[in-house]
Structure 1
Amino acid sequence: MEYQLILSARRKTIALQVRNAKVIVRAPTFVTSAYVESFIQTKQHWLLQKIAEQKNSHALTPPFTLKFSGEQLENNPTVYIDGLPHRVLITFGRQNIVHDPLEHSLTVILSARYKNHDLNSAAILAKVKSQIEYWFKVSVEAYVKKKVDVFSQQLSLYPSSFKVRKYKSRWGSCNSRDELSFNYLLKMLPAWVVDYVIIHELCHLKHMNHSTKFWLLVAKYCPEYQTAKNWLLENQAHLRWA
C-alpha cells in the first residue's frame, strides 16, 4: 500500500490518516520502516475502507472547476465560504477584484482584457483561482490576527509570530520557536471551527504533542472541539481546492 511518511522528533507514537484518499503516516524518528509496514498491515482493512469512502465522496464533489458557455459559467461552480456553499459569479470590469459574498454567491471581476482569451483556457481558471485565493488570504489574516489576540489573553499563551499561507494537508501548525502557521483555506470553514483550529495551535505552545493534558487544555477553552473535528471530517469532500 502506498503512503506518505512524515517523521517528527517530537512525536512519541505512530498515527495513520487518510486524506483525499491517500494514506499519511506520522511517526517518531526512531521508528523503523519495518515497524511502519507492519503497523499499516494491521490497519489495512480500516485504511482500505476509508480510501474507498473518500474516493466515492470525491467522485461526487470534484475540485473547483470553471466551464464557460459564451461569457456565462455553464457548470455553476461553487466554493465553500464560512462553511456554506457559494456560487461563483464572474464578470468583467476595469480591474481584478473579488467582492465579499452576498446571498451565497461570490463575484470575481476580471479585467476586461481577459475577454480576449478563450474563457475555458487554463489562464482564465488560474486567474480566477488566484483572485479567490488572495481574497482568502487577506480575510483569514485579518480574522486570525483578531482571534489570536483574544485567545492568547484567555490562555496566557503568546506566539512569537504567525503567518497565513496555503497548505496541502493541514489547517495549522506550531513549531518549537512558538511560531504559528495557518492555512488560508480556513476561509472555507465556519468561524467556530476556525476558532477551534486557532485554540488548538495556541495550546501547542504549552504542549507540543497531543497528550491527554493537551486535549484537556483545548477542551477548557473550546468545549465544542470534538464537534469541530467532526465537522472537518464530515465536510472534507467539500473542502477540496486543487
Structure 2
Amino acid sequence: MSFDYQLSISKRRQSVAIKVTADGVKVFAPYGIDKHWLDAWLKSKSQWVESKKQSVSAQQQRIQAPFDSQQLLIFGEQYKFECSQSRSYIDHDTQCVGLKTRAQPGSEGARKALFKLLNQTLLSYVTPLLAEYSQRMSSQYQELKIREYKRRWGSLSSNGTLALNSLLVGAPKWVIDYVVVHELAHYHVMAHNQAFWQIVAQHYPNYREAQAYLRHQGVRLQIEK
C-alpha cells in the first residue's frame, strides 16, 4: 500500500469509505470484508488520497497577514511588504510592495487601501490578456469587475459581467491565465459540461494543473482581515 492508514471495522457499515484529516488517513469498512479486495481498492485510491492530503496540508498553512509578516504573494512570488511614507507601489524588479495609507496598519481601512493597489495590479495584467483571449475564443463580455470573493475565483454572468477575485493577484500568472480562459469559455457554455471543458482544453490544455493549484494552494492567497 502506498499510504498508511488506520482501519476501522464495523458490523453496521455497508460500504467502504476513506477520510483524510490532519491526523492521517482513516479507512472504514464493514465486518468480514475481503482483505485482498480492500488492498486492491485502496491502491486504486492512492492518487485521490495524496491529493486530499495535499489539500489538507494547504488548508493548515497560515493565511497571508502582510501587516504582521511584512510579506505578500504577488504573481506566485514572495514580495517584501512595507508601509510607505511617499507612495503606494509594487516594484517587480526588487519584489517589494509599498503601501501609503493614513489608516492604522492592519485596520480595515489599511486593508481596503491594500486591495485597491492589488486590484490595479491585477487589472494591468488581465486587461491585455482578456483582449487576446476574447478575440481568440470569439468570446465577449460587457464589464469587468475585480473584487474579493470568498468562494469563487471568477464568474461570467448572463448580462455579460466578468468578475475576477482580487486574490488572484497572488497566484502565478499561468493560473490567472486559466481563470480568464475558464470564464470566457462560459460565454459559449454556461454549464460545466463536456462541451465547456472541451473549449477550455482547446485554449488552455494544462487546465488541470491550474485547477490543482487553486484547489491545494488557494488558501495561501487569502489575506487575513
The TM-score, its normalising length taken from structure 2, stands at 0.69
How many Å separate the matches in 1 of 2:93 and 2:135? Answer: 33
Q: Equivalent residue for 1:167?
A: 149
CA contact (8 A) 1:98 1:132 kept: no
Task: Pick the aligned partner of 1:84 from 67, 74, 77.
Answer: 77
Residue 144 of structure 2 corresponds to residue 138 of structure 1: no
Q: Equivalent residue for 1:19?
A: none
Cα distance, 1:133 vs. partner? 0.7
CA contact (8 A) 1:54 1:237 kept: no
Q: Which has the larger radius of gyration?
A: 2
Identify if the C-alpha distance between structure 1 residues 168 and 44 changes in structure 2 by more than 3 Å, giving closer, same or farther: farther
Identify if the C-alpha distance between structure 1 residues 152 and 53 changes in structure 2 by more than 3 Å, giving closer, same or farther: closer
* 1:1-242 equivalent positions in 2, closer than 5 A: 45-46=18-19, 57-67=58-68, 76-93=69-86, 97-110=88-101, 123-126=104-107, 127-242=109-224
**SS at 1:227 equivalent:** helix
How many Å separate the matches in 2 of 1:52 and 1:189? Answer: 21
- Which consecutive segments of 4 or more residues in structure 1 shift more than 6 A? 49-53
How many Å separate the matches in 2 of 1:218 and 1:43? Answer: 35
CA RMSD of aligned residues (A): 2.8
Identify if the C-alpha distance between structure 1 residues 162 and 46 changes in structure 2 by more than 3 Å, giving closer, same or farther: farther
Cα distance, 1:56 vs. partner? 5.4
CA contact (8 A) 1:58 1:237 kept: yes
Structure 1: 5+ residue runs without aligned partners?
1-41, 68-75, 115-122
Matched residues, number = 181
The TM-score, its normalising length taken from structure 1, stands at 0.64
Larger RCO (alpha carbons 8 Å, 6+ apart): 2
Letter matched to residue 77 of structure 2: L
How many Å separate the matches in 1 of 2:19 and 2:218? Answer: 18
How many Å separate the matches in 1 of 2:168 and 2:59? Answer: 19
How many Å separate the matches in 2 of 1:109 and 1:43? Answer: 56
CA contact (8 A) 1:80 1:189 kept: yes
CA contact (8 A) 2:186 2:196 kept: yes
Identify if the C-alpha distance between structure 1 residues 92 and 110 changes in structure 2 by more than 3 Å, giving closer, same or farther: farther
Cα displacement string for residues 131-154 of structure 1 (whole angstroms, at most 9, x for unaligned residues)? 221111112223222222111111
Cα distance, 1:98 vs. partner? 2.9
How many Å separate the matches in 1 of 2:177 and 2:17? Answer: 34
How many Å separate the matches in 2 of 1:45 and 1:77? Answer: 39
